[in-house]
Every structure is written in C-alpha cells, then in structure tokens.
A and B are shown apart, each in its own frame.
Chain A
Amino acid sequence: MIADFDYQFFIEVLVGGLLSGVMYSLVAIGFVLIYKTSGVLNFAQGAMLLFAALTFVSLVERGIPFALALVVTFAIMVAMGVAIERTVLRPLTNKPPITLFMATLGLSYIIEGAAQLIWGTQVHGLDLGIEDVPLEIGGVLISQFDIFAAVVAAGMVLLLSLFFRYTRIGLSFRAVADDQFAALAVGLRLPLIWATVWAAAGLVALVAGLLWGARLGVQFSLSLVVLKALPVLVLGGFDSILGAIVGGLLIGASEKLAEVYIGDYFGGGIESWFAYVVALVFLLIRPSGLFGQRLVERI
C-alpha cells in the first residue's frame, strides 16, 4: 500500500482541496469583516450570498448585460447592508453578542424567504465564461475554474487589505476593531464605518455568491455554504482575515484528503461533519483559534 502510494494523485487531491478551501475562505472573510468591527457573528452571510447570486442571475436572464447586472446587484447589496445595520443592529447596540447572533439568524430567514419569493425557487445555471477543462501543471491535473476562483478570491483579499491599509475609512475600521469605545471617544463616525463594513460584506457575498453559484447552480442550498465557512472561522478565529484564509486552506485540504483516503471506512459522505470535527479537535488544543486574540480574564 505504502509502496505504490500514488503521489501524483495525492497532490491532485491536495491541490483540489486547497483550491476549494479558498472558496471557503472567501465566505469566511465576509464574516470576519463584520465580526471585527461590530462583534456580530453574521449568520445571514450565507443568505446574503444567495440573495446576491439569485439577483444577479435573474437580472442577466432578463437580458441585462453582465457588467450592468453586476453593478446593480452590488448597489442592491450595499443598500441591503446599510438597511440591516440601520433597522436590526442599531436597535440592538450593547446587547450581548449572542443576542445579535440570534438576530442575524432571524435575518437569514427573512433574506432567504425574500430572495425566493422575489426570484422564485427554481435552480438557475450561472455561466461566468470559464471553461471547466482541467489544466495540466507540472504533471498534475487542476481544474481551470478552481484556479480562476482562487485568483478572484486572492484578488478580493488583496483589495480589502489595500482598502483597510490605505484609505481613511479603512484606517478607522482598524481603530474600531481595536477598541470601539476609544474609537467613539476620538470621534470616529461609527455608523458610517459600520455601513461601510456591511457594504464590503455585501461585496464579498456577491463575489462568493457568483463563484459558488457558478459551481453549484444558483439555488436555495447556496445559503448552506455558510455552514462550510463556520468551521473555518472556528479554526482561524472569528476576528482574523489571515485566520480565515489559512483556516479555509486547512479545512479544504483536510476535508478532501479525508474524503478520498478515509471516507470509505466511514461509508462516505463524511464531508457534512468532518470539517467541524477538525475544527473542534483543534480548538480543544487552542481555544482562541489559529490567529484569534487571546483573552486575558479581567475581573
């Protein structure tokens, strides 16, 4: 068994896992953005992703050009983000984090319901114009679409990093992430920052929604992608973009490898829970995740 271990196959599986991990990271980053600034674990991120993809596809199907549809959908996502901030989160300021989490759970029900009430429940195909022909790189077959997705995700991360490093609002974002009270005290405009962050999360949802939608088809189950992102967050820490990326890669790779190499011993289908178990085992060793902040108990 060891002697004829197929390294090429192993590497193909590994690379495939890493690339799908990038897709997980992309969803997870949407969570991190909001968690860092407002301490909310936004469960509605998956529903937003579904809403964005569904809106985009429906616009394109109604004959609206690709680019215009993209712009319109983005505008809608920004409006949605701002509206959520205004109507749901602001009245709940200073409530315990878990209350806010439950509110976003309710939010996800509303958005999922609304998305399908408006655009219908049928499955839409989404063609981004990328042929899914495997490329051979160094003797290893890699899906072209996966590479495209990874490049887009990397571009997203780069864009967000630049935004937060070099723009005024981005710098205030980092101040808020460090200390909300101090940020308030020095007069940073929190509502503006929160609105921006929700808009950014909307953008992430749009991009992730298009990539996932192209792969799985645009349908209700798209919102379940959120369940793939949660173990990534647990692993990487809810407040670390770097953690979301590394966590996504780790989960993606270990999930694929496990499915291929040990899945048979369990009768298959282990991908529904394997990521959670990986994250849990890891957490028992490091309770604050890979890059999460360690809390000093203050009493």
Chain B
Amino acid sequence: MTAISSDFSSVPVLPKWIVPVLLLAFAYGVVPLIGSSYLFEAILLPFLALSLAGVGLNILTGYAGQVSLGSAAFMAAGAFAAYNFNLRVEGLPLIGSIFLAGIVAAAIGIVFGLPSLRLKGFYLAVSTLAAQFFVQWALTKFSWFSNNSASGVIDAPRLSISGYALDGAIGRYLFALTIVTVLTFLAYRLVTSQTGRNFIAIRDNETAARIIGIPVLKTKLLAFAISSFIIGVAGVIWAFAYLRTVEPDGFDLDRSFQILFIIIIGGLASIRGAFFGAALIVVFPLGLSRLGGFLLGDLFDSGVLDMSQRIVLGALIILFLILEPDGLVALWDRIRRRLLFAWQST
C-alpha cells in the first residue's frame, strides 16, 4: 500500500459525490437513449448483476476478511426464493418478493456462516463449498422450488412496478440499475459506519478486535447475512432481468469463482472495485472472441474460445495478485493521480 492522498494534496480534489452522481445521470439520462439492445442484453445487464454480487462478496471477503467460495449458492437462493414468493404469495408486489428473497438468502448465509465462528482461512473457505453444493443439490432435487418444472428451470415473471411494465431491454436495465444503485449506496454507507470499521478490525486482527470489545461472533454473522442478502438480490437481477430463464446449474462453482475473481481483479475492500472487476469480467470474453475470430478465423470455435478464456482469466488473476494486489481500483487511482499531477504541473 503506497502513501495516500497527502502527497498530492495540492491537486484540487472534487467532492466525492460528484463522480457517482455524474455517472448515474449518464446511466439514467443518456444510456437508455443511445444503447442498442445488444448493449443492454449482453453487457449492461450481466454487468449490473455481477457488480452487485461483487459488492456483496466484497463486504464479506474484502472488508470482513472471510473468504467464501459459495457466492453462487446465495445468488441461486435469492433467485429461486423471489420466484416462489412471486408465484405463491398472492398480491405481493415485485419489490416485496425481492426483499424477502434477500432475507431468505441472508438466513441461509447465517446458517453457512456459523462455521466461521470456529474456523479460519482455508478451513472456512472449504466449508463454504458446503453451501455451494448443498443449495445447488436441493434446488435440483426438490422440484417444488421450481414449481415442478423439468430439471429445475424457472422462468422470470413479468417485471412491473406499480403498473409500469419493465419487460423490454431498457425497462429491465432501469429496473436493475435502480436496485443496484440503492443497494450500492447503502453498502457504501455500511462500510464507512462503525459496523464497517468493525468488519475491517476483525479482518486485520481478530484477537485485538475481540480484546477491545468488538462483538466478533455477532459481527461475523452480520457480515455473512448482509453479504448474502446483497448477493441474493443480485441473483434475482441475474434471473429476472438478465437471463429470464435460469436453472440451478447456472449457479455452479464456476459462478462462485467468477464473483471471487471480480473482487480480486477489481480490488478487495472497495465498493468501486466490484464494478471495475465486473466490467472486465463481462467485457473481456466478448473482446477475446472478437480478437480470436479476427486472428484465427474459423479455427477459433466456441471450444477454443472457452479454453482460451479460462487461460486468460487464470493468468489475469495471477498477474493481478503479483503486480497489483489492490486491483484495478488502485491502478485507476494511480493513473488518475498521475494525470492530475501532470496536468497541474504544466
């Protein structure tokens, strides 16, 4: 970690809220007007869902220091819970289903977070795999969860909020954007609150945290609950707004790793990092397939694409861990500071 702000304190600093507000204005005001349906369907919707999942995992892993390999299970729990609330509870508004789905994911998160009270590091990481396999198994095995559909496939309900239909690409985009914005803002408030500081304290030195009186057990479970809530809602966006049709196998171990990679590449313990990481994870396969097709032509079939994607992704992870352990966010901040500094000294 390099020295912070003080070196460049002479550079005029914009208020912190300016950039997010401008981005939001752009996302709400401009993107719906100029975006193609490809942009929404293939890039922005998965980007929003994965960013939110990354924010959720970052709270648990980046801030509270508890490594989880079971994120996809909580996405699945959220998606299937929202589906069932929507299906089975008469007159419950969509937002209500989504909120309750988050609560269900949070409850499951607490159950699978219980081992964290005794286990650390690898032992905990491995034990979160139990959540991954158990949830995936249960959703496939018990057809009640998918309203008796074959192999557990569920179709998203019609999206509408107080009468406004949101089923078009733009509508689903605005729907996802709004949920992601609200939850991200709350997550930001959380990590800068006393509870957020307690998360970091437990991550950095659990013994010291216990001795100065931070309620370690309660705080860890809270981290699991909040993280799972957010990841669960991300699962709803993934299922309802992005794919529209999902099956439990779509939330497999690879998906969990994908979310973990998002926060490693984007930057651990950074809310912005989740968005940086998700952007890279969503865009790079598209870029890679274009590039491969351009260079190799027909040789670059979907199998080759899949394999080269794995290789590049794995290499990226290792490169980031070695060269930029604080992720894209740190890289971005350094470049920006340098630019500002250069601009100022001219």
The residues of A with any CB-CB pair to B shorter than 8 Å are 41, 88, 91-92, 95, 97-99, 101-103, 105-114, 116-117, 121, 227, 230-231, 233-234, 238, 266-270, 272-273, 276-277, 279-280, 283-284, 287, 289, 297, 299
Contacts and interface: CB of A to CB of B under 8 A. Distances in A.
A117 B299 CA distance: 12
Contact of A117 (B129, B141, B308): B308
Given A99-B325, A102-B260, A269-B141, A109 B311 contact: yes
Interface residues of B, number: 42
A287 B134 contact: no
Contacts of A114: 307, 311
A273 B130 contact: yes
Nearest to B309: A113
22 contacts: A41-B122, A95-B321, A95-B325, A97-B121, A98-B125, A101-B122, A101-B125, A102-B264, A103-B317, A103-B321, A105-B314, A105-B317, A106-B317, A109-B310, A109-B311, A109-B314, A112-B310, A113-B314, A227-B133, A272-B133, A272-B137, A284-B115
B310 A113 contact: yes
B115 A273 contact: no
Contacts of A99: 321, 325
Interface of B: 67, 115, 118-119, 121-123, 125-127, 129-130, 133-134, 136-137, 140-142, 207-208, 253, 257, 260-261, 264, 303-304, 307-311, 313-318, 321-322, 325
Given A230-B129, A233-B126, A284-B118, A110 B314 contact: yes
A280 B119 CA distance: 10
* Most chain A CB within a 10 A radius of its CB, from B264, B317, B325: B317
B70 to A, nearest CB: 10
Given A267-B141, A272-B133, A88 B318 contact: yes
Nearest to B314: A109
Closest 10 CB pairs of A and B: A109-B314, A106-B317, A113-B310, A110-B314, A113-B311, A276-B130, A273-B133, A106-B314, A117-B307, A113-B307
Nearest to B115: A280
Given A91-B322, A98-B67, A106-B317, A283 B127 contact: yes
A129 to B, nearest CB: 31
Chain A interface SS verdict (over half): helix
B311 A280 contact: no
Nearest to A284: B118
A110 B311 CA distance: 4
Given A266-B141, A279-B126, 14 more contacts: A98-B121, A102-B321, A105-B317, A106-B313, A109-B311, A109-B314, A110-B310, A111-B314, A231-B126, A268-B141, A272-B137, A276-B129, A280-B130, A283-B115
A238 B122 contact: yes
Nearest to A108: B314
Given A112-B310, A269-B137, A283-B115, A117 B304 contact: yes
Contacts of B307: 113-114, 116-117, 121
Contacts of A121: 303, 307
A270 B118 contact: no
A287 B123 CA distance: 9
Nearest to B211: A299
A107 B7 CA distance: 37
Contacts of B134: 273, 276-277
A106 B140 CA distance: 28
A111 B315 CA distance: 10
Nearest to B134: A273
B125 A109 contact: no
Contact of B127 (A103, A105, A234, A289): A234
A283 B318 contact: no
Contacts of A280: 115, 127, 130
B264 A276 contact: no
Nearest to B207: A299
A11 B131 CA distance: 31
Given A91-B322, A106-B318, A283-B118, A276 B127 contact: yes
B182 to A, nearest CB: 30
A193 to B, nearest CB: 22
Contact of B123 (A273, A283, A297): A283
A106 B315 contact: yes
Contacts of B325: 95, 99
Contacts of B137: 269-270, 272-273
Contacts of B257: 105
A284 to B, nearest CB: 6
B25 to A, nearest CB: 36
Contacts of A105: 257, 260, 314, 317
